[in-house]
Structure 1
Amino acid sequence: MEVKILATSDMHGYVEPTNYAEKNSDLPFGTEKVATLIKEIRQQAEGPVVLIENGDFIQGSPLSYYLAKNQRVGELTQVINALQYDVGVLGNHEFNYGLDYLKAAIASYNHPVLAANILDKTGQPAFGKAYELIKKDGLTIAILGLVTQYIPHWEQPATVKELTFKSIVETAKEYVPKLRAQADLVVVAYHGGFEKDLVTGEPTELLTGENEGYQLLQEVSGIDALVTGHQHREIATHINGVPVIQPGYRGSHIGEIILQVAQTAEGFKVSETQAAIHSVEGVAVAAEIRELIAPIAEEVEVWLDQPVGKVQGSMEITNPMAARIHEHPYIEFINRVQMAASGAKISGTSLFNNEGKGFGAQITMRDVITNYIYPNTLAVLKVSGADLRAALEQTANYLTLVDGEVVFNPDFIEPKPQYYNYDMYEGIDYVIDLTKPAFERITKLEFEGRAVESTDELEIVINQYRAVGGGNYAMFEAGKIIREIQIDMTELIANYLKEHPVIQAEANQNFTVLV
């Protein structure tokens, strides 16, 4: 008997094949295309098919942001319901809009939602269930749902204060033997990825516990198939004989694991396995999904086209790397918004990816939300001069020299680009000298015209993700937060533009990168 495990992950609210930079796009991703491909695979299947939604669906696109802003999550999750998943798994970004919104999303799904390693005060799974037993064609298939344990390092402390996030390895050691006794097949669906090279076993990142997929397959036996996500990678392989998939980002791919199962005197046994990912490039959109989302999508497009301000000069980003090396007017503008909203005299922000185009002469909500892509709020921290210097050393490490040219450090591009972890500051004057050894590159650091001493106390404003140490900024933590601005940055930007309808494109070049 052939059993197919299909999985999507990290679709991030991208239902239509657009990145919202312009209208009427037909890009190679989106739930509408995923739906078509799933339907085709189901129709061609010769045995049971299990469909898993592996997390990070309700956050990430302008569509999902708009619906969250208006507390209308059911209009987004109806899309997932139409695809008839067997189970879903929580992702880390499911927490971004708070627990009430998350709980509303879970309640709106027509399939079980799993998260075995997120526990409430009683030690029980806090959301949904730990696992699901699915019976198809005489088989019992167990799906164990796991989520990256690193969520407390990204979320507002109030959101996670009563929750315990356990290691997925520890959790799997508890559950997999139990599930082996109850089921013919055991599938682990993990919203997380791999911390080590899949071939050599060498670490590919700091071993923080954010990703534990490699360790899981070294220490836990009895897993027939592993679905992963979170890193937005495209993976179809075997590790220690276990088929593994990770299906990209925004609905660019569907992951497929095929298990050939034979009945023996001892029960069903897996005789052969395959792992594959299928691109949706060239796939037509599913008309029924497009019809379902069309009214909301049009509403979002009208909202995105609202004018919110004008620019004198140029805030357009034509070269993302150049904008990281020489202060760009868009970056200075974002820092100025953060300083105005918080009252802090020092601000740090990032150019999150290489897709943002900055602002043209006329700014619309589309420009705001396609450049500032995360639902960040702000936090003001009281830090020492030593903390600030350490943060700048950390950020300097995201740059490196190759043949005398400044490039983004390849260590932080593969397996997942981390452009969002390189920060640029306003309110201080500093120099990064890339000819110096790592963590000795800040050769100048001044605030208000004098050198910053290690014992100085300073207030800085950064986004909530960074404020609790996100991006391995260990010098920042929740205990150093002295106040928060509980308004989403996209709203702060729009509000700033209402107060300053015409802004100047300018940059004071307060930082320098030496080569």
Structure 2
Amino acid sequence: MSTSFRKSCLILFAALLWVSASGQTVSLKVIQTTDVHGSIEQGKFGRIATLIRQECKAAGGSPNTVLADCGDLMQGSFPMTLDRGGVMIRALNLLSYDVFVPGNHDFEFGADSLRDHLKQFRGIVCALNLDWKDTPVRRWTLLKKSGLDVAVIGITFPALDTLVSGDQLKSVRLLDAEKEMARIMPEVMNVRPVVIILAVHAGEYTPVSGRLTLTQLIRKYPQIDLVLGGHTHQDIPGKSLGGHAWFLQAPAHAGGIAVADILYDSRERRVVSLQSRLLLLADRETAPLPEMEKVFSEQLKRSARTGAEQIARLPFPLEPLSGTEHSNRLTGLFANTIHEYTGAPVVFHGTHGKFAQAPGPLNRRQLFALTPYEDKIGVLKLTPSECRMVLEEQHAKKRSGMFQAPSGIVYSTGRGGRIKGSLRLKGESGDWTDETRTVACAFTTFALAGAGGRFPLLRSLAELHAVEVYPDGIRTVLENHLRKNHPIQTHPIERK
């Protein structure tokens, strides 16, 4: 059996029943995208737009289709840095999306920017666990599709504040998803929807509260028919969740769409069939939707021009940390950059993914690959014992891929990443043991937020002490450093 067949095969959730000749069944189609991350180059989002149009047409148009995106839409590619992802809202509007659930990366450009974009969305923004004034965000919405009342409940990433800094979230208050679900379900049930969909920026095992994972939450609500997932970048064509609901999740980075076909028996007042499938771009020749290409045209032209602009000439290669390294030339570049910008004598910063760059010219697109997130820099003052605990937490989590390489401090490690002996600040001859002496230590705001729960100790210290967040993003700071220290050389023509 081919991979494409296995991936796209119809998965039967409920036993198919005979459809009576009296026409008591009603068809409803649900289409989902998620974790697109601004993938508009190479026609990717344009191609899935074609698939969406085809599926909508097969269902009889938008009145018979629920179209939802489950977040991480507007950040993650170089073109998105040009307008902070606003072009993606225009793309959703072109396709008449009904629902959008923001993801954690959608907040990276800042809550103010996201709020302005959301106000331009013609559909409904849903997230029951967001308390966010002066925005169009709702906890849930009721759609009329195929003549049926369809309730859609939204949940953004439940631990949003561990991935996005307070500086980026500003006035956004994150609520407990479990408690909010209990609060709204009576309200939802009062309108007697015939289909209930939960659209969530989370995976099936993501904790939604201090007590429950998403799967465990679903078990509490047998009224839910369909769950649309996200965040985990998994391709899930369909599976049972919580014993009664059906769970599916579209491919990330505009790799395809997820489709659910629902049959509702209006006489028996229940869903009698739910089939789901993934349509993958890798499995088919699909041309981009021409109207969508027009939406992206100017953005892509500007991206090509801006991305090719050379900003520096590297005299040395840059490579990610190996599994055994605690620092290298790339972490040293970040450390020098951040020290020069903040004056902090101790800097913690990691490397992203598998980025590598040979000596020579560095352009803006390559700079984005080096720093693909919208992090800022925060500085807090730590005692030697606090810094020691941070170091040990970093070494204990080194395999997580989020290791923040320390610089400006000398130390030795033993088994399990435990620190041996005392710490010493670089440039000083004596040990740093005086607990009354605090030293400024710089981190990314992502690390200070806890890096998605990976650094709980660092997060607790950031909550305990005052953190000074600097105004410029790390990418801007790095560009300025490179322009100053490794400029593009212009050689005048010698006259004979």
In structure 1, give the amino acid aligned to 2:70.
Answer: N
- Looking at structure 2, the residues matched to 51 and 278 of structure 1 have their Cα atoms a distance apart, in angstroms, of 15
In structure 2, give the amino acid aligned to 1:329.
Answer: R
Q: Is the 8 A contact 1:169 1:220 kept in 2?
A: no
Aligned to 2:337: 337
Q: Is the 8 A contact 1:381 1:467 kept in 2?
A: no
Deviates more, 1:358-367 or 1:281-290: 281-290
Q: For residue 15 of structure 1, report the CA deviation from its aligned partner.
A: 1.5
- Looking at structure 2, the residues matched to 393 and 352 of structure 1 have their Cα atoms a distance apart, in angstroms, of 21
In structure 2, give the amino acid aligned to 1:491.
Answer: T
Give per-residue Cα distances to partners, 1:355-374, cap 9 Å, x unaligned. Answer: x2235311111111111100
User: Residues 37-48 of structure 1 correspond to what in structure 2 (within 5 A)?
Assistant: 37-45=51-59, 48=64
Aligned to 2:149: 140
Q: Is the 8 A contact 1:382 1:460 kept in 2?
A: yes
Q: Is the 8 A contact 2:140 2:151 kept in 1?
A: yes
Larger of the two Rg values belongs to structure:
2
RMSD: 2.7
Q: For residue 226 of structure 1, report the CA deviation from its aligned partner.
A: 0.7
Aligned: 1:195 with 2:205? yes
Q: Is the 8 A contact 2:178 2:208 kept in 1?
A: no
After TM superposition, the score normalised by the length of structure 2 is 0.83
Q: Is the 8 A contact 1:330 1:359 kept in 2?
A: no
After TM superposition, the score normalised by the length of structure 1 is 0.80
Aligned to 1:243: 246
- 91, 96, 99: which one aligns with 1:79: 91
Aligned to 2:71: 55
Aligned to 1:273: 274
Aligned residue pairs, count? 449
Q: Is the 8 A contact 1:237 1:275 kept in 2?
A: no
Aligned to 1:10: 35
Q: Is the 8 A contact 1:149 1:167 kept in 2?
A: yes
Q: For residue 442 of structure 1, report the CA deviation from its aligned partner.
A: 6.1
Q: Is the 8 A contact 1:117 1:130 kept in 2?
A: yes
User: Residues 183-222 of structure 1 correspond to what in structure 2 (within 5 A)?
Assistant: 183-195=193-205, 212-222=213-223
Q: Structure 2: where are the runs of 5+ without partners? A: 1-25, 489-496
Change in CA separation of 1:251 and 1:144 when aligned onto 2, cut-off 3 Å:
same
- Looking at structure 2, the residues matched to 38 and 65 of structure 1 have their Cα atoms a distance apart, in angstroms, of 26
Q: For residue 382 of structure 1, report the CA deviation from its aligned partner.
A: 1.1
Q: Is the 8 A contact 1:67 1:76 kept in 2?
A: no
Aligned to 2:363: 364
- Looking at structure 2, the residues matched to 491 and 299 of structure 1 have their Cα atoms a distance apart, in angstroms, of 19
Give per-residue Cα distances to partners, 1:237-293, cap 9 Å, x unaligned. Answer: 11112111222322123122232211225xx30123233333222433223212221
- Looking at structure 1, the residues matched to 457 and 380 of structure 2 have their Cα atoms a distance apart, in angstroms, of 11
- Looking at structure 1, the residues matched to 468 and 213 of structure 2 have their Cα atoms a distance apart, in angstroms, of 33
- SS where residue 311 of structure 2 aligns? strand
Q: Is the 8 A contact 1:11 1:56 kept in 2?
A: yes
Give per-residue Cα distances to partners, 1:175-230, cap 9 Å, x unaligned. Answer: 2332233211111111122336xxxxxxxxx8875994123213233111111112
- Looking at structure 1, the residues matched to 404 and 358 of structure 2 have their Cα atoms a distance apart, in angstroms, of 20
In structure 2, give the amino acid aligned to 1:86.
Answer: D
Identity value in percent: 19
In structure 2, give the amino acid aligned to 1:81.
Answer: N
- SS where residue 50 of structure 1 aligns? strand
Change in CA separation of 1:332 and 1:213 when aligned onto 2, cut-off 3 Å:
same
User: Residues 39-438 of structure 1 correspond to what in structure 2 (within 5 A)?
Assistant: 39-45=53-59, 48-68=64-84, 74-120=86-132, 127-160=136-169, 162-182=171-191, 183-195=193-205, 212-235=213-236, 236-239=238-241, 240-265=243-268, 268-281=269-282, 282=284, 283-315=286-318, 317=319, 320=320, 322=322, 325=325, 327-354=327-354, 356-399=355-398, 408=399, 412=400, 419=401, 421-433=402-414, 436-437=415-416
- 457, 464, 469: which one aligns with 1:484: 469
Aligned to 1:474: 456
Q: Is the 8 A contact 1:157 1:478 kept in 2?
A: no
Change in CA separation of 1:207 and 1:296 when aligned onto 2, cut-off 3 Å:
closer
- Looking at structure 2, the residues matched to 220 and 10 of structure 1 have their Cα atoms a distance apart, in angstroms, of 26
- Looking at structure 1, the residues matched to 137 and 233 of structure 2 have their Cα atoms a distance apart, in angstroms, of 24
Aligned to 1:403: none
- SS where residue 472 of structure 2 aligns? coil
Q: Is the 8 A contact 2:321 2:327 kept in 1?
A: no
Aligned to 1:20: none
